[in-house]
Structure 1
Amino acid sequence: MNLRCAVLDDFQAVATSLADWGPVLGRVEVVSFPEHFDTEEELVAAVRDFDIIVTLRERVSFPASTLDRLPRLTLLVASGMRNSVIDFAAAARNDVTVCGTKSSSTPPVELTWALLLGLARGIVTENAALRAGGPWQSTVGVDLHGRRLGLLGLGKIGSRVAQVGLSFGMDVVAWSQNLTERGTKEHGVQLAASKEELLSSSDFVSVHLALSDRTRGLLGAPELALLKPSAYLVNTSRAAIVDQEALLDALREGRIAGAGVDVFDVEPLPGDHPMRTAPRLLATPHLGYVSQHNYRTYYSQAVEDIEAFLAGSPVRRLG
């Protein structure tokens, strides 16, 4: 009897078209689920009879309560090499091997600039007006040249965002809890004296930090209050780094010029979620990693992970 493999959250139905599953077909039956399972009950009911699960990024949680209810599961493949929503101890207790894949930092860098430029030049507003026969030129764009870009985080993604900012002629500063002046000089940017100084002096602030106990809620109401009324905030990292209610209040009250957001406290975003109707918000449905190159990498390496596991030599193990 063939093993069964469930591919979760294949929203665009591309998992089997962007990768060659031939090496495992004949031994593994692949079933793609284009819908998201909102509850643990729905997830368990759908995949309890599968031996292998391929999950997309951190979209689906696998706590102990879920893993304990999946008796056939032997291999869990997660895209990316870091995952905060899998209980690795519970996986080990249930004899579930967890493997990952590579993930490129280029797509989130590009999306960050898509959001920032979209905000600065009123792209969505102007496009909607043009298509609807509305006013010809209704916004006045914000120049990037000479403006300050403040980066919270200067890692793989933040440093590449910085390079683009410098090419636009922006004054780029960065801050994180462990960042040093030597670290910023390597990338040709300035070290902000403090988080507060970065927030109060920047025209654009972009978040590029990993979510941890230290960064959760890093930007709350007091921090957002430091932003200029003309400033824009972009978050393509993790929603929990920014207090969502505080951000909504700042947008509704016009205390900042706008925000570009790709990450949310609940994903997929419910139809009645206030983020869907917030003013001054340019929002995308967590597209940071969604690109042809990344998807080819995710699913091609998922196939490699499965093939190696079947051969008794798992690769790219997590946990």
Structure 2
Amino acid sequence: MKPFSYARMTTLDAATREKTTGATLLAGGTNLLDLMKLQVMQPDRLADINRIDGLRDITTDDAGNTHIGALVTNSDVAAHPTILRHYPVLAHAILAGASGQIRNMATTGGNLLQRTRCVAFYDTAASCNKRQPGTGCDAMGGGNRMNAIIGGSEHCIAVNPSDMAVALRLLDARVRTRRAGGATREIPMADFHLLPGATPQVETALQGDEIITTIILPPAPPGRHVYRKVRDRASYAFALVSVAAIMQASDGYMRTVRFALGGIAPRPWRIEAAEQVLTGQKLSLPVLSHAADIALSGAQGHGDNDFKIPLARRTLIHVLSTLARGTEDE
């Protein structure tokens, strides 16, 4: 591991100043330390933000919005009574990710910033535009079983690995940030993760001096919540395909529907137009198939991951039909 300097931050102002100078922020470290050991990331300086006050709370405001501090651990989010009662899809998504030990360390803000698990990205002998811009993308030529089938570009087909982010996208969460000097803003989850285009190394909408302070959840929509994750083994594996969905259904009709997919794109994949064709419709395979066509329009495999297209389609249709029928097999 490359030598680095280390400093403990006690205020947001200090943390944003450190980030401005190029320091890498350290919270749970569950992804960062692995990348440092493999020399995929080689920061000169780490700024530990774990001692900053006010980032470990979960609160609800008068408008019914729930605020989750950036340093709240994944385990604490998943076990919180407000999350379990009003946002169970978020709890289910978190519990589907990683191991209990990692969830105890991993933070909410860090989860949103975790790096892809693309084999080419982790292999420093491989060409990877995300790790080293301009070198090419070895994932295009093979070893891409876990990679994206939609939303990628000729420069990168890495997939976003977060389960939590899929649920947050479904729930229309907002990411509150702070910049050096104290300026704040809120970034919709729809805009937080960027598609690779010609600059795959730019993964989020965060600016150089900007850090996450809070995740804001609006009041949850009515309906049943489901998070279904398809993976190679029952625990501690990243999604091949996942579906987060909320549906209000009665008498065989899908009254309100929203869904997002994970494991298939560089960011959580939600296409509202696909939801709209289901709203108010009677459950039927042709209707569900039409929605799947819209959601996966443009999907393309790259060899090893061709199977993801039919897998995503079948998983989505199964989840939606299960919700519409009100059955309990999910």
More strand by share: 2
Larger radius of gyration: 1
Q: TM-score, normalised by structure 1?
A: 0.21
